[in-house]
C-alpha cells in the first residue's frame, strides 16, 4: 500500500511538472509571438506642432501617417506615390496630375482630388515651413482623380516640393489635426503621450507595401543621457545613439552605422561691415551685417584648405563620418569636379595668407592694413563644440584667431549676419542649395545669412528652375557650384567652409534585420522606417 501511494505521489508530481512546463512553454510562445509582432523604437524627436504636414511635420524626412504625391525611392529617384502620372504643360507652368483611384484615408473615407487641392491651397496660405510654394498660384480639381497645379513661372524643382508636402484630408482637417492625424500613409495613431511615446499600428487601408508588424512604439528622450540609459537597458529594438557611444556594448545588440548628408559647415559673412542692418523681412530686423575679416576671400580659402577633415572624422567623430565639400555631397545635383580638395595643408594656407598681405604679428595673429585676422565663431549645440574647438585650433596654426561663442538660437540669430556660424544642413531637396546661395534669399530664415551673391550663380539657378526636366535642373545646379571659372563652391567664392557629414548610429537588436537604407538627411531617425516593409526577424 505504501509503495502504491509513493508511486501515485510521484506520478502526480510528474504531471504537475509537465503541466507547468507546458504552461511556461505556451507563455514563452506568446511572448515570442508578441516580440515578433511588435517593435519598440527610439528614432527621434516629436514635432512641436504635432503630426501635421501643414505645419512642417515630415517635410525633412518621413511622414509616418501621411503620404505625398511623389516620393524618393531608396536611390533618391523621384517616383509616384499618391500620383499615378503627370504631364507638364507647354509653358511649363501647369502640372497635370492623375491620382491613384484605389486609396482610402485611415478612417475609411475615400481619397480624391479634393484633398490634394485643399492641402496645396491651404499650405500656400499658411506658408508651410520647409516646402517651397513661392511660385504656386493655385491647385484646382479637373476631375475626381485629376488635379492641376499652376505656378506663376516655370519651376521644375517643384517636383521636390511635391515629395515634401504630404496630403491632409479635407473632411477631417481642423486645428486639432496634429494631435489626431488621419492619413493615407502606412500607419495610424493609437496613442500619443507628448514627450514620452507614440504608439501606432499599420493602416489597413494603406496602398503600399505592407508593414510586417502589428504595433510600433516610439519612445522620446529629453537628452543623450536618457538615450544611453534606455539603450543600455535593452528596452528598444532599435535606438539612435550619439557618435560618442559608438563603442557601446549591450548583449544581444549591435551598432549599425548609416551614411548621411547630415553636414557641418561654417557660414562665413562675405560682405564687409559697412554699417548696414537687416530689414524687416528677416528673422532679426536691425541686426548688423558684414565682417571685415571673413569677407576676405583669401581668409576663407586659407581656412578651407587648413582643415584636415579626415582628422576631424577620426578624432572628433570617432571615425563616424565622411568629408564634406558642399551642402549636398553625393546628391544627384552635386558637382563631383569639386571633389579634388587637398585639405590639411597648413603650409599652403600660410602661403595664401602671406601672398594676400596678411602678415604674422608678434602675438601670433596675422594683420593686414591694421586689421587683425580675428573673428567670432558661434555655435548653438554642445555636441558641436568639439568641431568648433578643432576649427579654432587649426585656424590658430595659420595665424587666425577664432573666438568661440556658445549660445542658443535666440542669441545666435541676430549675430549670424556678421559672425561665422557653425550650422548643420543636409536634405533631399536641391532647393536647400538654392536657398543657401541665391542672392534672392539673403537673410531668409536661416538661409544665406552670410549675404552671398554671385550673378553667374544666380543665372544658373534660374536656368535650372526653368528647365524642362529634373536632369537639366541638376546639371545647372552643378554649374552653379563650379563652371570652370566661378561658382559657389570652395573652388570659387568659398562662402562656406564645409567640414564633415556625420554618420548616424543605431543600436539594433541582433535578431532584427533592417536591410539596405537610404543615405540619411539632417537629423536622421525617422527616415529609417521608409524601408520598414523589408524589416524582419531572423
Strands 215-219 and 38-42: parallel
pTM strictly above 0.85: yes
Q: Among candidates 202, 253, 201, which has minimal Cα distance to 231? A: 253
Residue 393 maps to a domain: yes
The predicted-structure confidence for 213-264, as pLDDT tens digits, reads as follows: 999 999 999 999 999 999 999 999 999 999 999 999 999 999 999 999 999 9
Percent of the chain residues topping a pLDDT of 90:
87
Mean pLDDT for the stretch of residues 132-160: 94
Alpha carbon of residue 109 to chain centroid: 32
pLDDT for 159 beyond 70: yes
CATH number at residue 488: 3.10.105.10
What pLDDT is stored for residue 57 in this prediction?
85
Residue 33 maps to a domain: no
Residue 518 maps to a domain: yes
Residues 458 and 517 in one domain: no
The predicted-structure confidence for 28-46, as pLDDT tens digits, reads as follows: 434 444 568 999 999 989 9
DSSP string covering 261-291, please? --EEEEE---S---S-B--TTSSSTT-B---
Residues 102 and 123 in one domain: yes
CATH number at residue 244: 3.40.190.10
Q: Among candidates 483, 497, 422, 395, which has minimal Cα distance to 452? A: 497
Residue 348 maps to a domain: yes
Strand partners, 266: 422, 497
At 191, phi and psi to the nearest 5? -160, 140
Percent of the chain residues topping a pLDDT of 70:
93
CA distances from 398 to 172, 389, 496 (A): 61, 15, 18
Domain boundary among 151, 175, 199: 175
Residues 152 and 278 in one domain: no
What pLDDT is stored for residue 30 in this prediction?
42
In angstroms, rounded to a whole number, what is the distance separating the alpha carbons of residues 153 and 295?
34
With 0-12 / 13-18 / 19 or more C-beta atoms within 10 angstroms meaning exposed / middle / buried, residue 376 is: middle
At 190, phi and psi to the nearest 5? -105, -45
What pLDDT is stored for residue 22 in this prediction?
46
Residues 299 and 413 in one domain: yes
Residue 48: pLDDT band (50, 70, 90) is: confident
In angstroms, rounded to a whole number, what is the distance separating the alpha carbons of residues 60 and 76?
14
CATH number at residue 150: 3.90.76.10
Domain boundary among 175, 198, 213: 175
Residues 491 and 431 in one domain: yes
Residue 13: pLDDT band (50, 70, 90) is: low
Residue 30 maps to a domain: no
Residue 36 maps to a domain: no
What pLDDT is stored for residue 59 in this prediction?
74
Residue 158 maps to a domain: yes
Residues 230 and 324 in one domain: no
In angstroms, rounded to a whole number, what is the distance separating the alpha carbons of residues 399 and 363?
9
CA distances from 114 to 81, 97, 378, 430 (A): 17, 13, 46, 29
Q: How many domains does the chain have?
A: 3
In angstroms, rounded to a whole number, what is the distance separating the alpha carbons of residues 448 and 267?
8
What pLDDT is stored for residue 44 in this prediction?
86
pLDDT for 128 beyond 90: no
The predicted-structure confidence for 450-479, as pLDDT tens digits, reads as follows: 999 999 999 999 999 999 889 999 999 999
What pLDDT is stored for residue 88 in this prediction?
93
On whether the CB atoms of residues 244 and 318 are closer than 8 A, the answer is yes
Residues 321 and 428 in one domain: yes
Residue 12: pLDDT band (50, 70, 90) is: low
pLDDT for 87 beyond 70: yes
pLDDT for 426 beyond 80: yes
pLDDT for 132 beyond 90: no
Residues 211 and 133 in one domain: no
Determine the structural domain holding residue 145 and report its residue range. 66-175
Mean pLDDT for the stretch of residues 319-336: 96
Residues 199 and 329 in one domain: no
The predicted-structure confidence for 354-380, as pLDDT tens digits, reads as follows: 999 999 999 999 999 999 999 999 999
Residues 497 and 508 in one domain: no
Residues 100 and 151 in one domain: yes
Q: Which residue has the cell 541638376?
A: 474
With 0-12 / 13-18 / 19 or more C-beta atoms within 10 angstroms meaning exposed / middle / buried, residue 242 is: middle
Residues 483 and 511 in one domain: no
On whether the CB atoms of residues 299 and 493 are closer than 8 A, the answer is no
Residue 295 maps to a domain: yes
Mean pLDDT of the chain: 92
What pLDDT is stored for residue 130 in this prediction?
78
Domain boundary among 127, 147, 175: 175
pLDDT for 335 beyond 70: yes
What pLDDT is stored for residue 450 in this prediction?
98
Amino acid at each position: 500500500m505504501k509503495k502504491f501511494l509513493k508511486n501515485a505521489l510521484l506520478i502526480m508530481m510528474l504531471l504537475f511538472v509537465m503541466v507547468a512546463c507546458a504552461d511556461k512553454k505556451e507563455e514563452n510562445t506568446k511572448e515570442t509571438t508578441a516580440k515578433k509582432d511588435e517593435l519598440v523604437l527610439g528614432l527621434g524627436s516629436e514635432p512641436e506642432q504635432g503630426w501635421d504636414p501643414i505645419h512642417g511635420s515630415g517635410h525633412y524626412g518621413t511622414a509616418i501617417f501621411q503620404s505625398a504625391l511623389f516620393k524618393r525611392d531608396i536611390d533618391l529617384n523621384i517616383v509616384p506615390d499618391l500620383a499615378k502620372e503627370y504631364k507638364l504643360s507647354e509653358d511649363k507652368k501647369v502640372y497635370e496630375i492623375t491620382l491613384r483611384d484605389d486609396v482610402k484615408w485611415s478612417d475609411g473615407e475615400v481619397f480624391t482630388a479634393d484633398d490634394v487641392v485643399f492641402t496645396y491651397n491651404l499650405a500656400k496660405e499658411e506658408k508651410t515651413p520647409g516646402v517651397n510654394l513661392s511660385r504656386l498660384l493655385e491647385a484646382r480639381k479637373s476631375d475626381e482623380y485629376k488635379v492641376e497645379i499652376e505656378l506663376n513661372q516655370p519651376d521644375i524643382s517643384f517636383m521636390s516640393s511635391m515629395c515634401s508636402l504630404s496630403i491632409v484630408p479635407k473632411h477631417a482637417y481642423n486645428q486639432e489635426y496634429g494631435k489626431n492625424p488621419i492619413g493615407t500613409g502606412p500607419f495610424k495613431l493609437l496613442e500619443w503621450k507628448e514627450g514620452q511615446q507614440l504608439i501606432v499600428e499599420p493602416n489597413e487601408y494603406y496602398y503600399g507595401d505592407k508593414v510586417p508588424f502589428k504595433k510600433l512604439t516610439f519612445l522620446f528622450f529629453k537628452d543623450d543621457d536618457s538615450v544611453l540609459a534606455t539603450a543600455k537597458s535593452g528596452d528598444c529594438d532599435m535606438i539612435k545613439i550619439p557618435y560618442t557611444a559608438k563603442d557601446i556594448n549591450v548583449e544581444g545588440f549591435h551598432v549599425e552605422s548609416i551614411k548621411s548628408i547630415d553636414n557641418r559647415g561654417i557660414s562665413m559673412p562675405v560682405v564687409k561691415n559697412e554699417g548696414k542692418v537687416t530689414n524687416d523681412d528677416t528673422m532679426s530686423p536691425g541686426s548688423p551685417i558684414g565682417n571685415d575679416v571673413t569677407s576676405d576671400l583669401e581668409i576663407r580659402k586659407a581656412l578651407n584648405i587648413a582643415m584636415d577633415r579626415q582628422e576631424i572624422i577620426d578624432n572628433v567623430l570617432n571615425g563616424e563620418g565622411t568629408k564634406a565639400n558642399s551642402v549636398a555631397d553625393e546628391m544627384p545635383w552635386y558637382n563631383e569636379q569639386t571633389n579634388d580638395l587637398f585639405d590639411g595643408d597648413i603650409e599652403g594656407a600660410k602661403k595664401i595668407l602671406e601672398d594676400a598681405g596678411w602678415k604674422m604679428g608678434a602675438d601670433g595673429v596675422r594683420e593686414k592694413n591694421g586689421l587683425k585676422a580675428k573673428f567670432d565663431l558661434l555655435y548653438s549645440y554642445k555636441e558641436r563644440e568639439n568641431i568648433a574647438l578643432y576649427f579654432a585650433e587649426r585656424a590658430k596654426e595659420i595665424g587666425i584667431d577664432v573666438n568661440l561663442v556658445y549660445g542658443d538660437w535666440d542669441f545666435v540669430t541676430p549675430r549670424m549676419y556678421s559672425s561665422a556660424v557653425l550650422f548643420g544642413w543636409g536634405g533631399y531637396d536641391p532647393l536647400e542649395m538654392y536657398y543657401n546661395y541665391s542672392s534672392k534669399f539673403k537673410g531668409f530664415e536661416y538661409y544665406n545669412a552670410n549675404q552671398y551673391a554671385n550673378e553667374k550663380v544666380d543665372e544658373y539657378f534660374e536656368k535650372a528652375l526653368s528647365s524642362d526636366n529634373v536632369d537639366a535642373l541638376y546639371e545647372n545646379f552643378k554649374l552653379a557650384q563650379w563652371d570652370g571659372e566661378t561658382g559657389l563652391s570652395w573652388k570659387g567664392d568659398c562662402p562656406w567652409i564645409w567640414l564633415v557629414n556625420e554618420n548616424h548610429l543605431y543600436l539594433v537588436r541582433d535578431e532584427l534585420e533592417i536591410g539596405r537604407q537610404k543615405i540619411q538627411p539632417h537629423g536622421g531617425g525617422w527616415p529609417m522606417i521608409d524601408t520598414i516593409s523589408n524589416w524582419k526577424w531572423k
